[in-house]
Structure 1
């Protein structure tokens, strides 16, 4: 099954959306999906598991998840005690780019590197503060008083700054996480794909690296990740292509090769199928 692309308006004057204190049973949750905007999920109660990129995390009260844009993810609420959470969706343009000579950057919070967890288990005081911030954002969005959008943006930035100060202690994989390392070699295979998605697209060759059959690898991949190996690889390639289109001046043909596509028309078809636009159109829209 291909991941769903959840759309958000590119031309909205205030690129932020709140899904407030939502409780979804398993059957109402979206399947594997991606979207351009960043997402923050705060958990009030309930239990479940969330899959982000290539890792499974337990969900419980006080947990906070920072999900960068263009990252495959999916929630699996517990049937008996489904998770109640608030999700904040926002375009990166809402975060300031100025660093004022410091190493801190809001955008770094959504650029996790190897070994970094997408999950933060907040201590009670920080959880209470973040919950109160969400309540204030919700109230401001309903009242719509003078300057409410500026206040919402400022409160969100202040909350993220507070979270970043907790990260040295919190932003580590916890013992309660269910990492996609069952068996251990599987986590190594996922890391291998992350390092070189273009060179990891041959299932037979990748399975041989870990001394397992392609059939076993394929079955385990679908079981643990929730999508086929081919769909996961193609989605990863498209995410990488989007990054290269925005961050480099490489020609589209060079980007296609970098992402493992020998055929430029095939790359165009795949890119438009996933993003809804041609590569050149996507680059042009991102530069506006």
Structure 2
């Protein structure tokens, strides 16, 4: 497996990256993503399917997708209708703000997407124009080194997040699991519900009543990963959550996440993240910084 590891640094002074009007076709689309930062993807043109955390979504102009950190995802553009998308990647602390006495958080929309297991937002025409204007403004600020340009980018991002939390509060299931056979959706649900169990190709293909070779081909085609790679990515994603949210020793996390030994866990974790488990925990606990 050669995962795409965007080298995001949680301790960077400005933890944000932006890709504007990027063309994605069947020849240049990245195989798969698994990174720590939140990601917003907006579709300007084209069609395709977006595989996100075990579900498939139709992609077309005006669609917006919310991808919380550590979410396995991959876009599959249609050959005859390549996708043009903009993507904002950012660490959650860039959107931290004084609560002013209420419980609002700019990243609530990502938390809701995780809670509802639904990552696609349907955007009406008025909101679409507003979103596209924000993306133009972010690109302009990042293209010219004017005083306060990073502050301006953060303000535009907060405007976008406010819209996503207020005007478009509920992700939609419309277009979800498009183009995926029922046995594939059942397989992904099984893996998501039991990611740490010893489940392999023979067990899952038999349960799906599908020939193992056909199972392998379709699984790789739709997810960009082999079955083993996908299960491993899900386990590493959970391990990353536990490393940041608990004080459990590394060996206990490795065991809980289904790894047969601590050395195996270390090798796999470093292969997919570029860091050791202990190094990941240290680098992700960056100090807060003033943004504005």
Per the normalisation by structure 2, the TM-score is 0.87
Distance in structure 1 (CA, Å) of the matches to 2:120 and 2:34: 17
Q: How does 1:185-224 map to 2 (within 5 A)?
A: 185-199=183-197, 201-207=199-205, 217-224=215-222
Distance in structure 2 (CA, Å) of the matches to 1:232 and 1:29: 18
SS of alignment partner, residue 283 of structure 1: helix
Q: Which residue of 1 aligns with 2:94?
A: 94
Distance in structure 1 (CA, Å) of the matches to 2:171 and 2:166: 10
Label 1:97 to 1:262 Cα distance change in 2 as closer, same or farther (>3 A): farther
Q: Which residue of 2 aligns with 1:161?
A: 162
Structure 1 residue 239: deviation in Å?
Answer: 0.8
Q: How does 1:82-231 map to 2 (within 5 A)?
A: 82-96=82-96, 99-111=99-111, 112-113=113-114, 115-168=116-169, 170-174=170-174, 176-179=175-178, 181-183=180-182, 185-199=183-197, 201-207=199-205, 217-231=215-229
Q: Which residue of 1 aligns with 2:289?
A: none
Distance in structure 1 (CA, Å) of the matches to 2:115 and 2:284: 26
SS of alignment partner, residue 131 of structure 2: helix
SS of alignment partner, residue 167 of structure 2: helix
Is contact 1:48-1:75 (8 Å) kept? yes
Structure 1 residue 281: deviation in Å?
Answer: 1.4
Label 1:25 to 1:224 Cα distance change in 2 as closer, same or farther (>3 A): closer
Q: Alpha-carbon deviations, 1:208-227, whole Å to 9, x = none?
A: 55566655544442343231
Which segments of 5 or more consecutive residues in structure 2 lack a partner in the other structure? 287-292
Label 1:253 to 1:103 Cα distance change in 2 as closer, same or farther (>3 A): same
Distance in structure 2 (CA, Å) of the matches to 1:144 and 1:172: 38
Structure 1 residue 143: deviation in Å?
Answer: 3.3
Label 1:201 to 1:167 Cα distance change in 2 as closer, same or farther (>3 A): farther
Label 1:253 to 1:182 Cα distance change in 2 as closer, same or farther (>3 A): same
Distance in structure 1 (CA, Å) of the matches to 2:131 and 2:120: 15
SS of alignment partner, residue 248 of structure 2: coil
Structure 1 residue 247: deviation in Å?
Answer: 0.8
Distance in structure 1 (CA, Å) of the matches to 2:12 and 2:244: 20
Task: Say whether 1:54 aligns with 2:54.
Answer: yes
Structure 1 residue 162: deviation in Å?
Answer: 1.1
For the aligned residues, what is the CA RMSD? 2.4
Distance in structure 2 (CA, Å) of the matches to 1:122 and 1:230: 36
- Which is bigger in relative contact order (C-alpha 8 A, separation at least 6)? 2
